Every structure is written in C-alpha cells, then in structure tokens.
C-alpha cells in the first residue's frame, strides 16, 4: 500500500524478490487476520462500498472472507467512546467518511436493518416502484418503504441519500401507495408455503425462527396459532391447516410437538423396547421417551395417540425402565447396576418422588445414592435443589416447581444441610418404633442440644417430636444421684432411657 512512496532503489530491491509494480497492484490484505490493521479494514470497506454503495453492513456480514460487519461495529463503538471522552474527532472517522459519509449514522439501528433488506431486493433485480405500492417486495419491507416515502421530507439528509440510491427520490416519494395486501391473500401465501413445508417434513411443528424458501413460515404459523387462541382465526382457515397437520396447533404446546417429531426421526427404523430402556437410541431421545412413559397417565389423549404411533402403548409405558449398566465402586470394588439414561427434568422424576414420599412419609430420608424403583431419586433431588437455589439467586423469586415438591415434603429443600434431615429421620424411625437409639444417633442428639440456640425454629420443632425439648445436656443413666442431688427420673424417648441432668 506504501509502494508509490518508495524510493527507486527500494523498488529495485523489491523487484528482485518478485514484487514488481504490476504484482503490487494485485496485492490484497489477509482477511483472516485476527487483529486487522486500520489499512486492512479500510481496504475491505472500500471494496464493500463499491459493491453495495454504502457501509450499511450487518454485524455478521463478511466480504471476501473479511468480517466487515464486525470490524465496522468495532469502529463505531470506538468512535462513540472517543467522542464521549474527547472533543477531537475520531482518528479513523475522516478515512471512513471518505468511503461513506454516513458510516456511523445518527439514526437508529432498526432503520439500518430495514434499509439493508430493501437494498438486497434491489441488488437481486427488484425495482422499487412507489406509485404501484412496491410490488414484489415482502409485506413488511414494502410497508416500511411506504412509511419512508410518507415521511420523506422529515428524514435526515443521509437517510434521503440512501433512499435515493434505492430509486426513491423527492420526486416519486409523494406518489407512493401503501403496500397493503388483503388478509386472505396474505393467508393464501402463507398456506402455500405451509403446504410445501408439510410435504417435505410431514408436519407443521416449525419453530418461530423457521424460514422456508425465504418466507418466515415460523412467524406466520405462530401468528395463526395466536389468532386461533384468541378466537379470531376463521373456521375455514383452521380447517385448511388441519388438512396439512391435524396437530398444527397442539393444546399441549409447541415445544413438546417439536421434540416429538425430532425423536420420531431419530427412531426411524428402530424397534422400540421400553422394558429395556429403549436401547440403540441417542441418549437425548431415550431420556425424552422415558419421561413420557413415566408421565403417561398425565398426558393429553392426543399425546398418547402420537406415542402409540411410535409404537408405545399404555402397557409399554408402564413397563418402561431406564437402561442399566454395571458400575464398580471405587473404594469397595463392589459392582451394582445403575441406570444410565435418566432425565433430571422435573417431569422425569416427580412420579418417583411421589411414590417414595408415600412410602417413607417424605423425601428427607433420600440420600444422594438413594434409588427408588430403579430411579436415582437422591441424585434427582440434588439436581432439583441446585436449580431451586440458582433460580432464587438469579430472579429473587421462588422456583416455579417448588410447590409440586413442597406438597410431598414441606422441607424437601430446607435452609439447613440435607444431611441433617437424614440423621433426624434415623432418630425418628427409632423413636416411632420404640427401639433404643444407636450410639451414633445418641451422639447426634447431644450435638443438637449443645447447639440448640443455633438451630432453625423448625429444626427445634422437629426435635420436640422425638422428645428433645431444649438445650439440656444429656448424661448417661446412673442409678444413684450425682453430687448428692435428687435423682431425676429418666424420661423415655422411644425405649431409650435418657437422664436429664440439672446444671447449676
């Protein structure tokens, strides 16, 4: 780039290594440079402007392999910071202004986005005809162009200049007609794209971001579902969509439907074996199928019908079990079967939590390694507690699923350590059964009494249930008074005799 300013001797030496005046003119900066210099960015900016007429590039745009959009966005950010800190102009500003005077425009980014969409239409050969209502343009782009024509006199000179490059001038802007399309015509256009999408994929469970042959089909379908929910979708239009996919607007929500079709594609050609945990399938598909089987009774009849189409009957759902693998304990060397394809979702473990709470009277006895009917319930509860705490810290509001588990055990996620619950339930079991406390449980009770004033009020309440009513230390039972004090009769906790000593 500095070749014209070199001395004759410098040029001769460069020619000796193959860099002649002709080869220098064809030189291009490396577009893959991690930190491109200003000269490199300016080179590609000039080339981009020569092709498009301006520097209105999307942040994701690349030009000749160079991230021109990202580079321009960085220059704009640096220019704004420089202007806020100094009265002097941004050093690279005049160089970029020579390429495009409005490279860092004062108007908002939405205008830039719509201008890029209109510019792309022009580059694809579509003429913008204001007096005819901008035929051939998408609804939203045509309506935006009409709005610019109506407000043409109030636009910034830079905006007027860019519209002129598209063929919209002060002369033809007043003649613009609105880009209006009748609802039926717009629906017919969307229905045509929905028809080809359904023929290709076999359904209309398209996410909102789905784009089909340049048409925003996902947005269009979402709009039809919203109109149907509000009772504003005409019956004949809903029937037209029902013909393409009877579950185009499922009452159980679109995410389930999207996942269903993704799993259906995964299991194509596989024989499903629910009792063995659906072997041979990807882990994500296996976990989803196990979750549906676990909650089969709570599914909508339409969902059950779709699962039957996959080969999962009510009998298969009842017999479904996670896959098992043999794992060796690192310390003891003992081997045991453990489930491998289980889901940590709330729906995947809630039925097991209900069954466990019904059997054991709560969830407090479930250790991390606790399994219930082949399901790792202890691990699952640990995951739910982590999510509940993270949600509370992030939003300041209770976890949405907290009420479901609180209904099973009010203290499933206590403010104290879960291990305290395990020790308490061990003591509660002996107390209820009338059996003597083991030595470890007696030691734990003494620890709680010593730290009585540090316990949570509900912990103190739970201790009273097993006969511990305060911070009085426990002593071993002695048949004779100590220190000539009157003998205090033993108070029974279960069948274990515990003597309460009076302290001076």
The helix/strand/coil state of 475 is: strand
Task: Please identify which residue in the block is written with the tokens 């199928």.
Answer: 289
Closest to 309 in 3D by CA, of 210, 203, 196, 200: 203
Closest to 248 in 3D by CA, of 265, 261, 263: 261
Residues β-bridged to residue 497: 492
Name the token pair of 360.
Answer: 């054991």
419 neighbors 447 (Cβ within 8 angstroms) = no
The helix/strand/coil state of 191 is: helix
- One digit per residue, pLDDT tens: the chain, 504 residues? 566 767 878 877 777 777 787 776 666 666 656 577 888 889 899 999 998 888 888 888 888 888 988 999 999 899 989 888 888 888 888 999 999 888 889 988 889 889 988 998 998 899 999 998 888 888 788 889 999 999 999 999 999 999 999 999 999 999 998 876 667 778 898 999 999 999 999 999 999 999 998 889 999 999 999 999 999 999 999 999 999 999 999 999 899 999 999 999 988 878 888 888 888 888 888 888 988 887 888 889 999 999 999 999 999 888 887 766 555 555 555 555 555 556 677 877 888 888 888 888 888 878 888 888 777 888 889 889 988 988 888 888 888 889 989 999 888 888 888 788 888 888 888 888 888 888 888 888 888 888 888 888 888 888 888 888 877 654 443 333 334 443 333 444 443 444 444 433
- 431-474 tens-digit pLDDT: 888 888 888 888 888 888 888 888 888 888 888 888 888 776 54
Residue 231 zone, left/alpha/beta (φ > 0; ψ -120 to 50; rest): left
Cα distance between residue 441 and residue 449, in whole Å:
13
Helix (H) or strand (E) run with residue 498 in it: strand 496-500
Helix (H) or strand (E) run with residue 474 in it: strand 474-475
Total length of the chain: 504
What's residue 238's pLDDT?
94
């Amino acid at each position: 780039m500095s070749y014209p300013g070199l001395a004759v001797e410098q040029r001769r030496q460069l020619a000796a290594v193959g860099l002649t005046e002709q080869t220098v003119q064809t030189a291009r900066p490396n577009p893959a440079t991690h930190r491109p210099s200003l000269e490199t960015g300016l080179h590609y900016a000039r080339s981009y402007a020569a092709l498009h007429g301006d520097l209105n590039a999307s942040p994701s745009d690349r030009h000749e392999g160079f991230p021109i959009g990202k580079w321009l966005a960085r220059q704009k950010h640096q220019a704004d910071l420089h202007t806020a800190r100094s009265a002097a102009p941004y050093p690279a500003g005049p160089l970029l202004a020579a390429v495009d005077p409005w490279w860092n425009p004062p108007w908002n980014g939405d205008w830039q986005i719509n201008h890029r969409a209109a510019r792309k239409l022009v580059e694809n050969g579509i003429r913008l005809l204001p007096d005819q209502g901008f035929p051939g343009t998408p609804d939203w782009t045509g309506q935006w162009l009409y709005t610019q024509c109506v407000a043409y006199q109030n636009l910034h000179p830079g905006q007027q200049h860019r519209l002129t490059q598209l063929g919209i001038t002060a002369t033809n802007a007043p003649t613009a007609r609105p880009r209006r399309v009748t609802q039926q015509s717009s629906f017919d256009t969307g229905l045509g794209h929905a028809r080809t999408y359904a023929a290709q994929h076999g359904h209309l469970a398209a996410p909102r971001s789905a784009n089909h042959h340049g048409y925003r089909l996902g947005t269009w379908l979402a709009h039809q579902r919203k109109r149907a929910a509000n009772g504003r979708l005409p019956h004949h239009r809903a029937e037209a969509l029902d013909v393409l996919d009877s579950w185009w607007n499922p009452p159980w929500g679109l995410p389930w439907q999207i996942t269903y079709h993704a799993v259906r594609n995964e299991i194509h050609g596989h024989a499903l074996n629910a009792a063995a945990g659906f072997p041979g399938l990807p882990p994500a598909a296996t976990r989803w199928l196990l979750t549906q089987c676990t909650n089969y009774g709570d599914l909508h009849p339409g969902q059950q019908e779709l699962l039957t189409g996959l080969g999962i009957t009510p009998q298969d759902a009842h017999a479904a079990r996670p896959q098992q693998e043999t794992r060796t304990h690192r310390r003891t060397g003992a081997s045991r079967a453990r489930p491998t394809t289980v889901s940590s979702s709330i729906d995947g473990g809630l039925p097991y939590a209900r069954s466990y709470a019904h059997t054991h009277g709560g969830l407090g006895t479930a250790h991390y390694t606790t399994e219930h009917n082949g399901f790792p319930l202890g691990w699952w509860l640990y995951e739910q507690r982590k999510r509940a705490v993270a949600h509370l810290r992030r939003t300041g509001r209770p976890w949405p699923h907290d009420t479901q588990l609180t209904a099973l055990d009010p203290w499933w996620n206590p403010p104290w350590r879960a291990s305290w619950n395990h020790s308490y339930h061990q003591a509660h079991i002996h107390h209820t059964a009338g059996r003597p406390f083991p030595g470890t449980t007696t030691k734990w009770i003494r620890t709680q009494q010593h730290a009585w004033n540090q316990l949570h009020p509900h912990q103190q309440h739970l201790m009273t249930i097993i006969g511990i009513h305060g911070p009085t230390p426990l002593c071993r039972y002695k048949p004779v008074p100590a220190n000539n004090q009157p003998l205090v009769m033993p108070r029974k906790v279960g069948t274990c005799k515990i003597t309460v000593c009076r302290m001076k």
